[in-house]
Every structure is written in structure tokens, then in C-alpha cells.
A and B are shown apart, each in its own frame.
Chain A
Amino acid sequence: MEKSPLVKLTNVGKNYPKLTALSSIDMQLGQGEVLGLFGHNGAGKTTMMKLILGVIAPSHGNVEVMGVAPNSKEAWHMRAKIGYLPENVSFYEQLTGLEVLTYFAKLKGYTRQKAQKHAIALLEQVGVAHAMKRQVKTYSKGMRQRLGLAQAFIGHPALLLLDEPTVGLDPIATADFYKTVDDLKNQGTSVILCSHVLPGVEQHIDRAMILSSGKMLAMGTLEELREAADLPVAIKVKGLNGSLREDSQLVRYLLDDNNGDLLTVPEQDKLVTLRQLLAYESIKDVSVNSANLEQVYQYYLSRHLSSYSTNQKNTKEYS
């Protein structure tokens, strides 16, 4: 039996007096699913998180989290099952890391002793246990970010909303973080991950949603988005020494501005082209790169921007 989605947005919009922060968003998130939310600053990512958290109410449409509207009274008990890492948060500077986490754990319903025990375990998990007796004001940016993550993990949440979780983390900490996300996912936690740092995210998310100025530009698995965008595959070869320029079939894929070892091939011609390339005796190496998340993102964004500017031009001409 199909489980009912953990988060369900139906035609959700949010208007502020002077701007439309979100318009007609439809989205569903299942249990154990990781959704990447991508967009520039001001695209509506944070607004969407706030709507799911129930901090603000939608102007129209329906938000359901675990079957209830998150800003209603009935949603009270499920708040303890949601973890949130805000984008810009500086925790109580004069408290120690352990005190901060213990406080937040208490607010999630832990008793004093259990709160402290849980806090220590979380600090160990994110790797700040060595500094837990130090005041937060002495923490580096990365340590603060880890503390924020530990805060989001309080109470083994069923739903995690992470706003720019890897900002300020060094590469090793970032890898640790994604490993934690993978673990949580395997335990059945659903995650919404908001980011504009694209490299490295793709293998950890199930689906991606691209937002721009409050509108949803695209949503789906990376493969689906790639397919819909129809972006070419980049094939790099070594050892052919320009002989491709004489190949009547492959020369059209060659980029003009290189020495003849980089081809951009439409997805559907990939295998045919590879076979042709492998027929060359002198070929030493070949690497195939499908369009990455960044390119997909750029594609949707530029398409949106160009349609936006044409629209503007049209309205200008008519007015």
C-alpha cells in the first residue's frame, strides 16, 4: 500500500503586501525521501520552509505535514518530530555548546537529565564534543554550523528541513554531513535540503526542485530533469590527435575551440558515438559526463529568465 506523503503542498502561494514570495506550488514528499530545493537568494526557498514549519500561513492553497496543517493547534505534537536548521542563526553566544543544545532538547520535551545526555550524544555525532564546555562565541563558523545541525537532529526527527546546511563546512565536514543525511534517509527520515552550493549534492538527493522568484521551474529526479532539459553529454577522449576532424560523422559534435578531443553529444546519440569512438585504434582514454546538477539548474534558470524578459518586452510594447 502506498503510504500517504509526509509533506503535501497543493497549489500553495504566499503573498506579502509588496511581493509574491511563492505562487502555486505543488509538491509531495514521501517518507525517507530527500528533496533538494534549489534557487537563488529570494527565490522562495526559505518561505517554503517556513510554510512547511507552520511559522507562516499560506495566502492560498493547502499545506499538510503528517496529515495536518502545520500552523494549526493539532500540529503541536508533530513539531517535536521536525528538525529545522535556519539559514542564518547565531546561537546564544554566552552559553556553551552543551547548554545551547540542552536548552533546545528541553524545549522538545526532554527532561533535564535526558536532555543533557541526548545533547552530548548529538555533539559527538557532529564532532563538536571536544568544545562542548566552551562558549559558543569562541566557535568557528564551521563549528557553529555543526552545532546548528546537532540542534536540528534533536529528538530523532521524522522530517528535517535544512537551509544551507553545508555553508561554512570544510570538505571533510561536508562529506560527514552528507553521510549523516544518507544514514538518516536509510532510517526513514525525510529531508528537505535547501542549497545554492550545487556540486556534491546530486548523489544524495532523490529529487530536485528548482525555484525562481517564487515559481517552480522544474521538479523531478535528476534523470528526469536532465531528460526534459535534453542537455548534451560531454565525451572527452585522449590519443586521437585531431583525427576526429576528418571524421565526417563525428566532426559535428566537436567543439570549435579545442584541440579536437571534446565532444558534446545529444543524450540519444551517446552510445552510437561511443561505439564509433572505440573503433579508433589509437584511443587511449574516454570519459563520459552527463550534464550535472549545476548545468541542469543553469538551463532551467536561463530558460526562465529569457521567457521572463520576452514577456516584459511584450508588455512594454503593448503598453
Chain B
Amino acid sequence: MKQILAVAGKEFHDGLRNRWLVSITVIFAILSIGLTYFGAAASGAVGVTSLSTTVASLASLAVFLIPLIALLLSYDSFVGEQESGTLLLLLTYPLSKSQLLLGKFLGQGGIIALATLLGFGSSALILYSQINDPAVFGVFATFISSAILLGLSFTAIAYLISLSVSEKSKAAGFALMTWFFFALVFDLALLALLVGVEQGISQQGLTQLMMLNPADIFRLVNLAGLDSSDVNGALAIAIKSSLSQEQLFSILLAWVVLPIAAAIFIFKKKTL
């Protein structure tokens, strides 16, 4: 445990030093505060809009940003140290591969989690000060915790990439492709399946397919409870047959645990 904490501490400090924490927090805070105030500008009014509209817009934004940021933060975690030679050195220390990986995950995941909490939490406070409705905290608690899980999930996926390639530039390419796939291509493919296939797929089938994408699970978690007028596309259909929040959260959690387990497995097989 001591070793894990030592690695986690170092990674967390790296995140502070490289201004990752500050920049992610600021990005999240500006966007969420902006959306909170100006989310309804299209409908002619400026000011704090309804809770559900705000969370809907925040969620559709976060679903692009969080995976991208998590991948950017972590794609070179292992391949970078492999290139500089410190990975080989670390492996000669009394430190197991899983300890190293979990330590990194704790440190970098901590950066993502803290930035999400601070960035989006700030807009929760502002929203509460404006509409004075305690429901804000419940909705934001769900939003922020699912956003953190989404971030952790893509951190774990980034480790998978980082451990599977031998060059940093390749890892960057794969990270970008992974983001493109989960954030855009996957949903387009689902839509195509919905529209293009004659027999169509059942609501049930669609929801099940969406479980293959952590970004979609995040969307479902945050949009299921909202007025359907704020939601459209493939999602609207899926929501009607949706799973319970607990089920969605546990699947999202599985999207954190399974990639981590797979990354540990790959790391153990890897020779340097």
C-alpha cells in the first residue's frame, strides 16, 4: 500500500505541476457556469435556466470533454516512462506491476475526480444560490459522480492503450481514435442501425448496445431522469426502456474495473 501511495502522490503532484488540475477545473467551471447562465439564450432568455436544461446541456458537453481530457492526461503514462527508461528501472524496485498501475490510477484518477468535482461543483453552488432549490444537489451529485466514473473509465482505457504500444506517438494516435470512436462514431452507428435496418432493433437491444459505450451510459444516467423534451435522438428511445440508475452506475463502474483489470493483465505479460 505504501508503494501505491508513493506512486499516486508523485502522479498527483505531476498533475498539479503540469497545471492539469487547474486547467481542467477552469475549463469545466467556465463551461458549466456559462451553460448555467446562457443555456437558454437560444430561446431568448439569459439567466439561470431550469435545472433539467442545465444538466442536459452539461451532460452533452461533458460526454465529449471528459473522455478527451482523461485520454490526454494518461495516454503516455506507461509508454512515456518506457521511452525514457524509468519504467524498466521502476520494475527493478520492490514494486509490483499492479502496484505501479494502481498507484498511477489513483494519482491521475484523483486529478480527474478533483477537477470534475471542483469545476462542476462550482456551477452547482451558483445554481443553488440562484434558484434556492435543494434538488440541485441531488441532481448534481448524480451528474458529478457519473462524470467522475466516466473520467476514470477513460483513464483506464488510456492505460490499455499506453501498455499496448511501444511508441508515444502511436499511443497518441490510438487515444484520438478511441475518443473519436466512443464519442462520435458509436452513436452514429447506432442511429444508422435504428434508421437503416429494415426490421429495426428493439428498444431493449438498443439499450443493451449502449452498454458497450461508457459515454452512452453516462448520457443515460444523466438524461433518464429529465424531461424528454431536452433529450432527442437514439437516446430518447433508449431512455423509455431504461435500466435503473443503480444498474447504470454499476455498469459504468464495471467500465472502470474491467479495463483496469485488463491493463494489469497486459502489463504482467509485457516484457521490457
State the A residues within 8 Å of B (CB). 50, 53-56, 76-77, 79-80, 82, 84, 86-92, 94, 103-104, 106-109, 151
Contact check: which of B14, B95, B271 meets A107 at CB < 8 Å?
B95
**Taking the complex as formed, is B130 at the interface, i.e. its CB lies under 8 A from any CB of chain A?**
no
Besides A86-B85, A86-B89, A94-B14, 13 other A-B contacts (C-beta < 8 A): A54-B92, A56-B271, A79-B93, A80-B94, A86-B88, A87-B85, A89-B86, A89-B89, A90-B85, A94-B18, A106-B2, A107-B7, A107-B95
Bound state CA distance, A76 and B90, in angstroms? 13
Chain A residues, CB < 8 A from B204: none
Q: List 30 A-B contacts (CB under 8 A).
A: A50-B88, A53-B92, A55-B88, A55-B91, A55-B272, A56-B271, A77-B94, A79-B92, A80-B93, A86-B88, A87-B85, A89-B84, A89-B88, A90-B84, A90-B85, A90-B86, A91-B84, A92-B14, A94-B17, A103-B6, A103-B10, A106-B2, A107-B3, A107-B7, A107-B90, A107-B94, A107-B95, A108-B93, A108-B94, A109-B94
Closest A residue, CB atoms, query B95: A107
Q: Tally chain B residues at the interface, Cβ within 8 Å.
A: 21
Tell whether, in the assembled complex, residue B94 and residue A76 are in contact, meaning their CB atoms are under 8 Å apart: yes
Closest B residue, CB atoms, query A104: B93
Closest A residue, CB atoms, query B84: A90
Chain B interface main SS type = helix
- 8 Å CB contacts to A: which residues of B75-111? 84-86, 88-95
Tell whether, in the assembled complex, residue B85 and residue A89 are in contact, meaning their CB atoms are under 8 Å apart: yes
Chain A residues, CB < 8 A from B93: 79-80, 104, 107-108
Contact flag A107-B6 (CB < 8 Å), given A56-B271, A94-B14, A94-B18? yes
Bound state CA distance, A151 and B271, in angstroms? 23
Contact flag A91-B86 (CB < 8 Å), given A107-B6, A107-B95, A109-B94? yes
Closest A residue, CB atoms, query B100: A107
Tell whether, in the assembled complex, residue A92 and residue B86 are in contact, meaning their CB atoms are under 8 Å apart: yes
Closest B residue, CB atoms, query A154: B93
Shortest C-beta distance, B73 to chain A (Å), equals: 15
Chain B residues, CB < 8 A from A86: 85, 88-89
Shortest C-beta distance, A135 to chain B (Å), equals: 10
Chain B residues, CB < 8 A from A94: 14, 17-18
Closest B residue, CB atoms, query A148: B89
State the B residues within 8 Å of A (CB). 2-3, 6-7, 10, 14, 17-18, 84-86, 88-95, 271-272
Chain B residues, CB < 8 A from A79: 92-94
Closest A residue, CB atoms, query B99: A107
Closest B residue, CB atoms, query A92: B86
Bound state CA distance, A104 and B91, in angstroms? 12
Contact flag A84-B94 (CB < 8 Å), given A94-B18, A103-B10? no
Question: Which 4 A-B residue pairs are closest in the complex by CB-CB distance?
Answer: A89-B85, A79-B94, A106-B6, A53-B92
Chain B residues, CB < 8 A from A103: 6, 10
Contact flag A82-B84 (CB < 8 Å), given A94-B18, A109-B2? no
Bound state CA distance, A108 and B10, in angstroms? 14
Tell whether, in the assembled complex, residue A55 and residue B92 are in contact, meaning their CB atoms are under 8 Å apart: yes
Chain B residues, CB < 8 A from A54: 92
Bound state CA distance, A53 and B95, in angstroms? 13
Chain B residues, CB < 8 A from A55: 88, 91-92, 272
Shortest C-beta distance, B180 to chain A (Å), equals: 29
Bound state CA distance, A54 and B94, in angstroms? 11
Closest B residue, CB atoms, query A49: B92
Bound state CA distance, A76 and B272, in angstroms? 19
Closest B residue, CB atoms, query A89: B85
Closest B residue, CB atoms, query A135: B17
Chain B residues, CB < 8 A from A53: 92
Chain A residues, CB < 8 A from B18: 94
Closest B residue, CB atoms, query A80: B94
Bound state CA distance, A94 and B86, in angstroms? 14
Shortest C-beta distance, B184 to chain A (Å), equals: 33
Bound state CA distance, A55 and B89, in angstroms? 9
Chain A residues, CB < 8 A from B14: 92, 94
Closest A residue, CB atoms, query B103: A107
Bound state CA distance, A77 and B95, in angstroms? 10
Chain B residues, CB < 8 A from A89: 84-86, 88-89
Shortest C-beta distance, B187 to chain A (Å), equals: 38
Bound state CA distance, A55 and B6, in angstroms? 21
Tell whether, in the assembled complex, residue A84 and residue B85 are in contact, meaning their CB atoms are under 8 Å apart: no
Bound state CA distance, A191 and B85, in angstroms? 21
Chain B residues, CB < 8 A from A109: 2, 94
Shortest C-beta distance, A26 to chain B (Å), equals: 23
Shortest C-beta distance, B1 to chain A (Å), equals: 12
Shortest C-beta distance, A53 to chain B (Å), equals: 5
Bound state CA distance, A54 and B95, in angstroms? 12
Chain A residues, CB < 8 A from B86: 89-92
